[in-house]
Amino acid sequence: MPLTWWDPEWDPFREFEQLRRRMDRLLEEELGLRPWWTGVYPPVNISEDADHVYVRAELPGVKPEDLDIQIQDRSLILRGEKKIPAAEKGVNYHRREREAGYFRRVVRLPRPVDPDKVEARCQDGVLTITLAKPEELKPRKIAVKTA
């Protein structure tokens, strides 16, 4: 087979795209944005704004009634079960990648919160827990006086 420098399968645009992705990943790792790995389900993302701390988890197919959320001081406890309804008997599977099972996790909150002001909401398979920061932790605007 003659050796040619031009591979008809070679797609320069795809190469660029792959390079861009590798750069993204490198930046993520360098800047410490690499996702944390705890080995416990479900993984959570935690964010904040001036008044609240938000804990989110992707729980597709988990019904609110199958979730049990508790707060103890600065520990948020997430328990629940993902159920996959059994298909009728006569079916045959081509692929089975989704998993059913239970989970129990404790998340240490990065900020103190008011345990009486916690709200949980499930939308499109994403659980969002909104926790209010205690009054003394909310940022206060300081007026600058002229001399």
Partner 1 sequence: MTDKELTPKVKAEAPAKGERVRPGRVFLPAVDIYETPEALVLVADMPGVSGERVTLDLKDSLLIIQGEIAPPLGPGETLLRQEYSTGDYYREFQLGELIDKSRIEATMNDGVLTLVLPKVERAKPRKIEVKAG
Shortest distance in whole angstroms from residue 36 CB to partner 1:
5
Contact stretch for partner 1 (CB under 8 A) within 36-44, 70-78, 112-120, 134-142: 36-44
Contact stretch for partner 1 (CB under 8 A) within 1-9, 35-43, 69-77, 133-141: 35-43
Residue number, 34 or 73, with CB nearest to partner 1: 34
- Tell me if 41 contacts partner 1 by CB under 8 A: yes
Structure tokens at 145: 């006086």
Which residue in this structure is represented by tokens 């909401």?
Answer: 121
Handedness of CA 44, 45, 46, 52 (dihedral sign): negative
DSSP structure string for 103-141: EEEEEE-SS---TTSEEEEEETTEEEEEEEPPGGGS---
Shortest distance in whole angstroms from residue 145 CB to partner 1:
28
- Tell me if 134 contacts partner 1 by CB under 8 A: no
